[in-house]
Chains A and B, each alone.
Chain A
């Protein structure tokens, strides 16, 4: 593992300079440098293995972002890659789905307790938006409730972006504060009889904000109201799916939705999403048009089958929880050693660190910038992810780097970016 005094991102920048000529923004979306630490972190990756990756300048990192979640077993897991390759050798995108689609649907329906059927797409947004439509088809109603600040994808009804939107895109989308059951019920009352669905995440994980676990009774209260009012309860498990419970994060938090959306970790980095639902919603689901050129591509489905099998066989979720607990204890101890009060939020497999003395992320940016410089990729504004590949060695190295990063904050005056 290299420990340079400084890291060069010359090749990243050179690539980016080419990119801006032919790609709007250079890099768009959540990967945009504007959302992280421009000029102080890599822009392009070249290869990865296990818990590590290398950028185009040859800098090596312990990956605490895992591709923003998809890498749950570690980069390039040999069994997953072999399963995908085997399918790819047989064929990729046909005129028809491959048998693996049926196998995967059966596997997922067996895994998720309330589910009777499954559909597939490519991204989380595909499924969350489709789930809203199923709710509207099933109920004949228009309105959707979501928690304020929650991220459900990039489509117009929920995008955190601003361009190209019209008021009609979100006219029937209403938000309530996370963990505020009273506000939720007030909102339901205000729009009584008009609400098709409620979409919630398993825990609250806004960008630029601390993660918040559900308060006791929060999800159960939403579920109860939804059942009473005939509202479809949708769990957006895109981010947390297969990191808290193999059968869906609702099992971890003790409630039961009507629809659940998966993506990210489902296939260890291969592009795939899925939505599952109750038997009662199958007919409505069959009436909502659902398709995409690559949605039935077979290799990611084969990868997903392999991934789900490994998650169960190797007790991956328990592993990540244990690694995550060690990371949390070490981070908290390191912060204390350096006189820093931190907020370490979210489940241990998906933690997020902020500094209690600030709300503007100056220290977070300085901390993560230093961690990147020392070889651990941490994000200052987005929750982190562990994978099964983050074993003791990676956790210890991460903590050593974190200790140095906390120490470096002593040189950062408040309110600046050093």
Chain B
């Protein structure tokens, strides 16, 4: 059964948006500084729902959807609405902390990190004129997109309906102008996606010819059919799989609106 909009958005915040922190600390020196020396697991958990944990890794942070290790400070959200409003920086009851409460004083770093993530995912038009800001923005958007696909396949009714009639297979995406690669595997019931090269020969390859095309696609500003006809996007192989995946990708915008 499809989840409600709020439930799906909560899943997206935890499984797609939060993991983008990993890329943020890699791309942004101030963010890297905030993450340096992170020394405890911080779990965000929706009651009866999904969870995600920021864990220390290699002197920085990583985000995992696996159960947290011992010693985690958990921020408990009672409802998807509360979680979403928190992520959207709208007025909301603060989450109830449990677990390693002695780490509470470190939450300031988390707050600042997420503020930086917000700014990088939703920069102003003026900020986007800086090529470095634009490039970081696109890299993060791509990471969010890859993380969002499995969530949407599982919870979004439109994506679910479309994928139900999408043939199974492995899809590979390349945005060479931005140095981005990702893959997804649809087996008829479950969609898995990750950055990097596909683990097996893809059944469909989707390639973006250049950075402006990739940028327009990631920001939801592209007429994809026109772009294919113009050769700005190349699709080889199992076109119906690309079609189904693109519907799921398009659905991200319904939940996580890009900056305007």
Contact = CB atoms under 8 A, between A and B. Distances in A.
Interface of A: 13, 16-17, 20, 24-28, 32-35, 38-39, 43, 148-149, 162, 165, 167, 170, 207-208, 359-362, 365, 381, 414-417
A294 to B, nearest CB: 26
A207 B202 CA distance: 20
Given A162-B158, A162-B247, A365-B236, A360 B229 contact: no
A147 to B, nearest CB: 12
Interface in B182-229: 201-205, 223-226, 228-229
Contacts of A414: 201
Contacts, number: 84
Interface string B219-245: 000011110111100111111110100
Contacts of A25: 223, 225-226, 229
A208 B167 contact: yes
B238 A26 contact: no
Given A26-B229, A34-B229, A38-B228, A417 B239 contact: no
Contacts of A149: 165
Nearest 3 CB-CB pairings of A with B: A25-B225, A417-B236, A360-B203
14 contacts: A26-B223, A26-B225, A28-B225, A32-B228, A33-B229, A34-B228, A38-B234, A149-B165, A167-B157, A167-B161, A170-B161, A208-B240, A365-B236, A417-B236
A359 B225 contact: no
B170 to A, nearest CB: 9
A15 B73 CA distance: 61
A415 B172 CA distance: 12
A24 B223 contact: yes
Given A149-B165, A360-B203, A416 B239 contact: no
Nearest to A13: B230
Given A38-B229, A360-B169, A360-B203, 16 more contacts: A24-B226, A25-B223, A32-B228, A32-B229, A34-B224, A43-B229, A162-B158, A162-B162, A167-B161, A208-B167, A208-B238, A360-B237, A360-B241, A361-B238, A415-B202, A417-B237
A359 B203 contact: yes
A39 B234 CA distance: 9
A27 B223 CA distance: 11
A38 B236 contact: no
> Most B CB atoms within 10 A — which of A32, A360, A414?
A360
A359 B201 contact: no
Contacts of B240: 207-208
A359 B167 contact: yes
Given A149-B165, A162-B158, A361 B230 contact: no
A27 B229 contact: yes
B229 A20 contact: yes
B156 to A, nearest CB: 12
A34 B223 contact: no
Contact of B236 (A162, A167, A208, A416): A416
Given A26-B230, A162-B162, A208 B223 contact: no
A414 B240 CA distance: 19
Given A162-B158, A359-B167, A16 B236 contact: no
A416 B207 CA distance: 12
A76 B204 CA distance: 39
A416 B240 CA distance: 17
Contacts of A360: 169, 203-204, 237-238, 241
